[in-house]
Structure 1
Amino acid sequence: MEQQSSTPDNTTKKRLPLLPLWVGLALAVGVFIGSKLNFDDNTEKIFATSSKKDKLNRLIDYIDYEYVDKVNTDSIVDVTVNGILENLDPHSVYIPKSEYAHNADDMRGAFVGIGVSFYVYKDTIAVIRSIEGGPAEKAGIKGGDRLLYADGKKLFGELVQRDSISNYLKGEINSKVALDVFRPSENKTLEIKVRRKQVPLVSVDASYKITDDLGYIKLNRFSETTFKEFETALDKLRSQGIKKLVLDLRDNPGGYISTAERVVDEFLENDKLILITKNKSGEINKTFASRRGDFEHGKLYVLINENSASASEIVAGALQDNDKGTIIGRRSFGKGLVQREMSLGDGSAVRLTIARYYTPTGRSIQRPYGNGNDTYYSDYEKRYRNGELIHADSIKVADSLKYVTPKGKVVYGGGGIIPDVFVPKDTSVENETLQYVSRSGFMSYFIFEYLEKNRTFFKGMNFDDFRKNFIVEDSLSKEFIEYAKFNEAQIDLSNYAEQLKRTLKANIAQQLFGPNEYEIILNEADPMLLKVLELEANDHLDKK
């Protein structure tokens, strides 16, 4: 189930004038997910009885039975576990029981449900769109429909919680849910039964041809299903005649190492080194390309930025160290630690760092974390102040961490992957604000209201017609500017009229057609993709 918040919360509201700092906070989201979860957890050997364990158990029992006031000892345990892990490293984390199912779905790349994205709109569940190929779409549920009841349970009103809604719509695979659906466009209520199925949490945000021979694939994570999605997208593009590919890993926080290795294997010849890991006992494990990849001889560009982390850095580092492709963008996050998920027996779990990883040349790209988690996750602010997001020569490197690829290219360890071709970030508050309102759900709510009034205009329009012929009028952009000014966010975007129109059009495309079309519209003026096209043009001239 995809949910989008209607407006920024109060914390976001206060931070909007300082959005370059907001992005630094966003770096923390999902970065620790670069894990290796295919293992057998033999906890009996690890957790033998000890005086340390007895001491903690006894303290909890004393508080439970003897303390003067009633105390929720479960919360004390949670705080204790978090405190222990925070003193280890920034990526060893505790997953409470209440959050485990969501985390598991995210890494599994699927959930069991009906497959709709929705808003709580005026206290009613409003469908933004049914997920393509999902149960709801097959049952006939459309964008704009209101879900009123699920098996007789009321889904509207102020007292209904989002979590409750999700629980009503999710369920056992192949079970049915009877929905009462109001369709405003027809002014009638429908009874629709939907059989719950596995619904994918899609990893490929976009896959399309930029030019006749240049394809584009954007990955948002490395889950269990990512490689299959990637392989399908790549096969389709190859069948359409592409010889070159842009792999977009910007803002991808990572995921399974094994998935990242399989993606890399598509580009590297057999027996090329992909990754080195080293654990506490000094045991070294090396992963090599093991089969014929589908794009070993194709030209490759990889896009990264300061939010590309973990498995994304494994992919970029392996390709860079093997002299495959061109890495474009800005220095990546800098996470070189491997986590393993371990159950705590009560539905909660920990992801514990169990090894470090190194790129094929032997470099570690893990940033220092000895000064605490707050300092670690505020590194974006430091990069912003130092100017490295604007100027490539502001990136600080150490000669002691210099490595050389087989073809003689110099690369550096010590904190992220430094791109081969640098593209500066537009750090103006207005532009970052525009990016924020586009991807946070703030603009989406406005667009949903716009579509509520204009769905008949777009009925029967395909994406090609929309892309070529639909023009965002000045009146719509001015309406959004006023909406943003007087909403709780109080944003002024009046100086970014053209960019705003493109972003509005992209958000309309997203709700009408999907995320692929959203990225196509936004990418038309994307600086990194424009750099790719510039490099392509220069390469063409050199060959003449």
Structure 2
Amino acid sequence: MRIPKIYIPFLFFSCVALGIVIGGLVNYPIPAKVTKQEYRSKLNRLLNFIENEYVDEVKTDSIVDVTVTGILANLDPHSVYVTPQEQTLLADNMRGDFVGIGINFYTYNDSIAVIKPIPGGPAEKAGIQAGDRILYAGKKPLFGKKLKSESLYNTLRGEPLSKIQLTVYRKKTRKTFTTQVIRDVIPLKSVEVALLLDGNTGYIKIERFAETTGEEFHEALLQLKKKGMRALIIDVRENGGGVMESAIAIADELLPENDLIVFTKNKKGAVEKMYATEEGLFESGKVTVLIDENSASASEILAGAIQDNDRGQIVGRRSFGKGLVQREMNFDDGSAVRLTVARYFTPSGRSIQKPYKKGESEAYHGEYEHRYESGELTQPQKVKVADSLKFKTKKGRTVYGGGGIVPDVFVPLESAVGEENVAYVLKTGIVGHFVFEQLDNNRNRFAGWTFEQFQKNYETTADFLPEFEKYMEKSGVQMQWEKSKSLVQRYVKAEFARQLFGDTAYYKIILQEDPMLKKAGVVRIR
């Protein structure tokens, strides 16, 4: 059984070789020795030649994009070209906010369906509710088969305090109305939830590392300490990284002054070291970091700092293995290039960058499939480490470089043996879409329930597994889950809780029976 390729980390562009672009157009031999300046001149002359003489109209901007992408494809998998549209979204994610109307939505039956307005956001203030369909922005229709995400985002976003009139259809009352929404800055949380699991164990889930993540983590620590937290679990599963400085700031909260957090080295051999300061909020007390095969980059910096300084234990599965540092160069049209400029190393001196071949980005990013087929995701003895890359932690424990952070405590995939792909499918958007459609068909089913009533009554009043199985088949997802029904049930229930009561409710359910939490010593969640 093979894992569906729906969970491969996002690639900005498919890699196209530079030779394809220019090889068939230049009819002159290349001199034996060509200077860098001559190459630059050659590219400029070629583009001018195409623009002025080519038989058909052609957008040279698109040729430049392909050329840049082809050049970067011959460097490493993390040196990439980012289009203006992608750069706008990525910049918002890394900055930690955007200007818009504040809704979670998805395109359902060719229209914008509101999953949930952000609490306290512009849309909620304007009276928009979960289940509403947004039909028009002014006179511009926001429905139909040709609806494009780029156009949609551009329409709903804008300048702070700018106004937009929306025409909304409310299914439960079968009425259409108009409302004026005043756009505002919408925070994008990177610390998704912070809660006390039992009497003294705090849990913080970090979704990604944005510019605001350090501050969010600091505030979460303050609140948990006020509640009596004496042990801390940091969850960076499925966290592909982001801003390195935020990972350093979080490690600084946990490590004593002068402990080395991470260091970088560029091609000239220049080394830059980052140390913990005296500002840490939680420098004593048990620390556990949860990782998996999709924990990368900044997540690995944090896990490596905790492991190498013997500050806590790492629980889970071997992380992704990204040990390269990028710097961004922006262009006037809003696009950008992210170029690898250095390697980072954990405090013990290990690089955890996994091997790669130039020009084979798809195989590199899809390497988890090899891990699955090799048995590494279910059997600890299948995890391959390089004996030639042994390093010592501060207290003399052996750790390994050469391809991700190997956890101190291994935890296999939660799905039953033979049904390992179930865990991956449940983490895609398909569960959220299913739950939305179930609620959309009958929003009165849970009307008036508190979260406590939901927890108590859900199992006795609702069994959505048969409907979910039909939904999966209709969506074209073939999946065996006979041995994993309890896992599927938990994810479906948790998603109902999220859409009805918010993120905290989701995690209070999804973390029940979590095998990594059990390995971390959490017996019961309040």
* Residue 18 (structure 1) aligns with: 2
Matches within 5 A, 1:348-363: 348-363=335-350
Contact 1:438–1:444 (CA under 8 A) maintained in structure 2: no
Match of 1:289 among 276, 282, 301: 276
Runs of 5+ unmatched residues, structure 1:
1-16, 31-47, 538-544
Q: Once the 2 structures are TM-superposed, how far is the Cα of residue 204 of structure 1 from its aligned partner?
A: 1.8
Contact 2:236–2:290 at 8 Å: present in 1 too? yes
Query: CA contact under 8 A between 1:438 and 1:507: conserved in structure 2?
Result: no
1:38-437 to structure 2, matched below 5 A, reads 50-370=37-357, 372-426=360-414, 431-437=419-425
Give the drift of 1:26: 1.4
C-alpha distance 130-236 of structure 1, shift in aligned 2 (>3 A): same
Decide whether the 8 Å contact of 1:472 with 1:505 is kept in 2.
no
Moved more, 413-422 or 178-187: 178-187
Any idea what the Cα deviations from partners look like across 1:124-154, whole Å, max 9, x if unmatched? 3221101123221233321112222222322
Corresponding residue SS for 2:388: helix
| Corresponding residue number in structure 2 for 1:460 | 448
1:497-519, Cα deviation, whole Å (9 max, x unpaired): 32222222111112112233223
Q: CA deviation at 1:28?
A: 5.3
Tell me how far apart the structure 2 counterparts of residues 427 and 242 of structure 1 sit (CA, whole Å). Answer: 31
Match of 1:3 in 2: none
- Cα RMSD for the two superposed structures: 2.4
Q: Distance in 2 between matches of 1:497 and 1:292?
A: 46
Residues 15-73 of structure 1: CA deviation (Å, up to 9, x unaligned): xx622x637x614569xxxxxxxxxxxxxxxxx99322111101111122223333332
Q: Is the 8 A contact 1:472 1:501 kept in 2?
A: no
Deviations 1:387-413 (A, max 9, x none): 222222222222321111121211111
Match of 2:497 among 481, 484, 509: 509
Change (3 A) 1:403 1:265: same
Alpha-carbon distance in structure 1 between the residues aligned to 2:460 and 2:442: 13
- Deviation larger for 95-104 or 354-363: 95-104
Q: Distance in 1 between matches of 2:75 and 2:378?
A: 33
Which whole-Å deviations, capped at 9, do the CAs of 1:416-465 have from their partners, x for residues lacking one?
11111111124668744443443322222222221123322322322232
| TM-score, normalised with respect to structure 2 | 0.89
Deviations 1:220-254 (A, max 9, x none): 11011212222222221111111111100111100
Secondary structure, counterpart of 2:233 in structure 1: strand
| TM-score normalised per structure 1 | 0.86
Deviation at 1:358, TM superposition (A): 0.7
SS in 2 for 1:470: helix
> Aligned residues, how many?
501
Please name the residue that 2:29 is paired with.
Answer: none
1:481, 1:493 within 8 Å by CA — same for their partners in 2?
Answer: no
How far, CA to CA, are the matches of 1:234 and 1:190 in structure 2? 43
Compare the two structures and name the one with the higher helix fraction.
1
Q: Which amino acid aligns with 1:22?
A: K
Gaps of 5+ in 2: 13-34
- 2:508 is aligned to 520
Aligned equivalent of 2:431: 443
Rounded Cα–Cα distance in structure 1 between residues aligned with 2:201 and 2:11: 31
2:486 and 2:80 map into 1 onto residues whose CA distance is 42
Give the Cα–Cα distance (whole angstroms) in 2 for the partners of residues 289 and 252 of structure 1: 23
Select the structure with the greater relative contact order (CA < 8 A; seq sep ≥ 6). Answer: 1
Q: Amino acid of the residue matched to residue 168 of structure 1?
A: T
The alignment-based identity, stated in percent, is 50
8 A contact 1:204–1:226 mirrored in 2 = yes
1:193 shift after superposition: 1.7
